[in-house]
Amino acid sequence: MEKKIGFIGCGNMGKAILGGLIASGQVLPGQIWVYTPSPDKVAALHDQYGINAAQNAQEVAQIADIVFGAVKPGIMVKVLSEISSSLNKDSLVVSIAAGVTLDQLARALGHDRKNYSRHAEYAIAGQRRDDLRHTQCAGNAGRYS
């Protein structure tokens, strides 16, 4: 996979997905950009995996073809609203926030995106090439099949 992948937030779930993608060999660390409000956490992820540290969420949205929203459910809509104008029109946005509906995601993104909902078949991303399609996504999932 040659796509650029971004993570906004990277707690336990985000780190598991990030690590799984790298371990799969399908994604190189240099293809991944991460932003969290904690510079120490991003620095630790850079040291552990060799990923790129983004200065803010908008930078991730501008760079990445696939953006993982890996923040707490209570702030997911706010974060997506803040980055919506920075996203490329063909970006795929993947939410890992439980309880945030596709309608909420679509409203937060603020522009016309196709919506998809799939259930994850595996706990760790990267165990199959099509894992990215098997999650709750907003926008252009067909381009990454």
Instruction: For residue 133, count CB atoms less than 10 angstroms from its CB and return exposed for 0-12, middle for 13-18, buried for 19 or more.
Output: middle
- Residue of 59 and 134 predicted with greater confidence: 59
Is 50 exceeded by the pLDDT of residue 145? Answer: no
- Predicted local distance difference test score (pLDDT) of residue 134: 42
**pLDDT for 117-144, tens place per residue?**
554 444 444 444 444 444 444 545 455 4
- State how far the Cα of 60 lies from the Cα of 122, in Å rounded to an integer: 25
Topology (CATH) of 5-144? Rossmann fold (3.40.50)
**pLDDT for 19-54, tens place per residue?**
999 999 999 999 999 999 999 999 999 999 999 999
- State how far the Cα of 45 lies from the Cα of 39, in Å rounded to an integer: 10
- Across the range 114-119, mean pLDDT stands at 55
The reply to whether the predicted model has a pTM over 0.85 is no
